[in-house]
Structure 1
Amino acid sequence: MKTLLKTAILSSALALGAGFAGPAAAQDDSIYIPNLSYRTGPFAATGTPLMNGQRDYITLLNERDGGLNGVKLVYDECETGYNTEKGVECYEKTKANAVVTQPWSTGITLQVLPKSNVDEIPILAPGYGFSPMADGKVFQWAYNPPSSYWDGASMILNNLSDGNLDNLKGKKIALLHLDHPFGKEPIPLLEALAAKHGFTFLPIPVGLTEMQNQSAQWLQIRRERPDFVVMWGWGAMNAGAITEAVKTKYPMDQFVGVWWSGHDGDLKLVGEAGKGYRSISWSVPNSESPLMQDIKKHVVDAGKSLINQGEGEFDSVFYQRGLMISAILVEGIKEAQEQFDVRAPSPEQLRWGLENINLDEARLKELGAEGMLVPFKTSCADHTGHGGGWMLQWDGAKFVKASDLLMPDRTEIEPLEAAKAKEYADANAPWPINEECSM
């Protein structure tokens, strides 16, 4: 079996919303990988390119390679509209045959998380979800590689402080965030770092009904005059914030977003006026890479993609990040195939595969994706990998890489991570802990 596992990049001629009648994971001729997507609602503009990327990576493997080691990958979507209640319904509809679940919302992830120990289906939430899921001893079925939200907040502050958070003493940092579990994720870490390093932390929530009209929030920003605004936004909120920042003449080089606040379409609304805005990112688009050329040949030009070519989606950050997200999943499946000498791994076998991913630079090059994803490695105890990220900066027309690889300060994060993981386990007792997990 190992000799069959020389390459991997995915594909599948899939039917969107196919009634969730995917094949059982135990069958050897296919692997069912549902996605709890959102192509409708206020987050559709950002969700759609990500889902298109995930879909096209699967399609590539099926069309170019005949699947993964001869096994068809069946990609399916259940539309949630980013609604937590609908997301839980989609999870219940798809779980019977699924080898994995991809919640695509921190709120949905938090609802599914307590079910993970009962249903024993891995939760894959690349770059989102509950940050303490990094602790594989406590969250045995949940994975959020290659970097967590707390990693992202740490990297942003490290960049703003030139590598020494004590340089932020006396400064004021505003967190413009969606008033939703996703937007609240960095708050515990930022509060702890503010107290330790002497900067003022100012959270400014944006309600779901305020995303397109943030006049009150930006009036507060003008009044408070923070040294930096960090945005933890999503969907229509990002476009609203960037438009308001330009209108109020907030210095764009002092405005930094998390990786979900770095959508090309939002910046194109303001064009040159958005020049200088930055977003931390664990992926970098490279349309000339071998992977992207294969995607173009076998998927896009072959008429098997849903992307909007006229709007430059192929070259965008989010579309290519979607490809990398499916690449992470496929790598876990490949590892499980190899370890257990099976064609279609079970959810339990995929759990092992996801905690034995080693997407180093050599492997990324082999996949044709060199430089497109931060190298990272997971383990039994580390379900994130903490690969770091780069700053992307808007140059007036597109995002370009604007930093060397940045790494989170894990000494600052790990104590809080452990405390919050324990707090979660205690609150949901009895909660199983994998004491055999040492590294």
Structure 2
Amino acid sequence: MKHFTKMAAAALIAGVTAGAAMAQELYAPNLAYRTGPFAATGIPLMNGQADYLTMLNARDGGVGGIPVNAEECETGYSTEKGVECYEKTKGKAIVTQPWSTGITLQVLPKTNVDMIPILAPGYGFSPMADGKVFQWAFNTPSGYWDAADMIIQYLSGQGDLKGKKIAFLHLDHPYGKEPLPLLEAKSGAMGFELVPIPVGLKEMQNQSAQWLQIRRERPDYVVMWGWGAMNAGAITEAVKTKFPMENMIGVWWSGHDADLAIVGDAGKGYKSISWSFPNADAPVMADIKKHVVDAGLSKSNETEMQGVFYSRGIVISAILAEGITAAQAEYDTAEISAEQLRWGLENINMTEERIKELGLEGMVPPFATSCSNHTGHSGGWMLEWDGAQFVKVSDHLKPDTSGYAELINTKAAEYAEANAPWPTNDACEG
């Protein structure tokens, strides 16, 4: 692991600037979705990502003195369009950011051949945590199974779950099905009943049938794995059917301020696990205002910038920049290749000190990656809607990965066998 101080970063920039004079850019395309049924959640994330990298370009000349080109290729969250965007951008890309579990699953085999790392922060295929098997894929800083584990941990902290009933309201899409293996295992081990309730893509805004089932089932808790229009639809139905909001918890993609703002005070008590948090007083926000907002370079607005998803976009780009920085230092070059970035993403060490140096205090938990650990398992915080905004209602929560390490290894091995011949990083020792 490498830890970079401000002085070290300055020395790096000085050392590579001469070599970077001929370099044009670091091409880090983003397979964005500012259109379609998921646009409401995609837009603030893309804006946060773009604003952070724009700030680095304006303030520091990029990363290591070389500008980052985060060109967006619009997918509308369509898997087919996402694959087209991947093929269109892969030629000079040092990374691909699929922004959909479905797209991630489609490009996963391609990255082995093209040797381009996938950066899928907090989403994608959960077994990607096994870096020995998925050597080109990263779901840093925390994965879906981490989220499911922390949610169950939190609920068990409210009382014994044995004999309880948990409804799992989820998008009927690869993303929504991701936590099922872990939740099913937890159900058997802890003695609670799991009731999966899928929501089709055409049902996102009209979930009357799903909430009629929830009323019949009378679950003790509802765990929501929603996205886009599904979130607002579910929260509106929960309020309408008078489901106790304090007993409803969403994954981090179901904790969007704008969705809760629709119901306002009626949504009080709703919770969401999260590996990011907005901190308006963090130094990075002042730098973004100075170099991006005041310069008229942002597509965001004041309300959006106070939200969870905009700040998460900032954290995501900061993670990418850390991977680039690590690779530049290791290979003594500013204009790194995709293969070199893979090493960088495997050697991120986001300590509390480094988070402070980056001006991200309180916005992301500490975590570290390695060649075998492509997730980092940062954990996060339980957030609660107070009627106007999300607030932290827990200390830093950590997933108990020992409870599903075998599941990760088993599912990774199954995937590799089903997609044989599948190259693995046999030299990786940890």
TM-score per shorter chain, which class? over 0.9
Which residue is equivalent to 1:21?
none
Which residue is equivalent to 2:9?
5
Which residue is equivalent to 2:250?
257
How is 1:19-418 mapped onto 2 (pairs within 5 angstroms)? Answer: 28-162=23-157, 167-309=160-302, 312-418=303-409
Letter in 1 for 2:253: W
SS of alignment partner, residue 421 of structure 1: helix
What 5-or-longer segments of structure 1 have no aligned partner?
9-24
Structure 2 CA distance for aligned equivalents of residues 144 and 85 of structure 1? 21
Deviation (angstroms), 1:4 = 5.6
Structure 2 CA distance for aligned equivalents of residues 120 and 78 of structure 1? 20
1:84-105 Cα distance to aligned partner (Å, 9 max, x none): 0000000000000100000000
Deviation (angstroms), 1:286 = 0.3
The alpha-carbon distance between structure 1 residues 7 and 128, as it changes in their structure 2 partners (threshold 3 A), is farther
Check whether the contact 1:7–1:367 (CA below 8 A) recurs between aligned residues: no
1:352-393 Cα distance to aligned partner (Å, 9 max, x none): 000000011000000010110011000000000101010010
1:61-102 Cα distance to aligned partner (Å, 9 max, x none): 111112112111111000000000000000000000100000
Deviation (angstroms), 1:267 = 0.2
TM-score (norm 2): 0.95
Structure 2 CA distance for aligned equivalents of residues 261 and 134 of structure 1? 22
1:209-250 Cα distance to aligned partner (Å, 9 max, x none): 000000000000000011100000000000000000000000
Structure 1 CA distance for aligned equivalents of residues 69 and 143 of structure 2? 27
The alpha-carbon distance between structure 1 residues 381 and 261, as it changes in their structure 2 partners (threshold 3 A), is same
The alpha-carbon distance between structure 1 residues 7 and 231, as it changes in their structure 2 partners (threshold 3 A), is farther
Letter in 2 for 1:45: A
SS of alignment partner, residue 236 of structure 2: helix
SS of alignment partner, residue 384 of structure 2: strand
Letter in 2 for 1:290: P
- Please report the RMSD computed on the Cα atoms of aligned residues, expressed in angstroms: 1.7
Letter in 2 for 1:371: G
Deviation (angstroms), 1:29 = 3.0
SS of alignment partner, residue 40 of structure 1: coil
The alpha-carbon distance between structure 1 residues 4 and 407, as it changes in their structure 2 partners (threshold 3 A), is closer
Structure 2 CA distance for aligned equivalents of residues 308 and 237 of structure 1? 24
Deviation (angstroms), 1:308 = 2.9
Check whether the contact 1:135–1:382 (CA below 8 A) recurs between aligned residues: yes
Deviation (angstroms), 1:6 = 4.2
Check whether the contact 1:46–1:234 (CA below 8 A) recurs between aligned residues: yes
What 5-or-longer segments of structure 2 have no aligned partner?
13-19
Structure 1 CA distance for aligned equivalents of residues 145 and 65 of structure 2? 38
Q: Percent sequence identity over matched residues?
A: 69
Q: How many residues align?
A: 419
Which residue is equivalent to 1:22?
none
SS of alignment partner, residue 399 of structure 2: coil
Flag as ranges the 4+ runs of structure 1 deviating above 4 A.
1-4
Which residue is equivalent to 2:15?
none
The alpha-carbon distance between structure 1 residues 313 and 395, as it changes in their structure 2 partners (threshold 3 A), is same
Structure 2 CA distance for aligned equivalents of residues 7 and 216 of structure 1? 60
Letter in 1 for 2:182: L
Letter in 2 for 1:330: A
Structure 1 CA distance for aligned equivalents of residues 36 and 259 of structure 2? 16
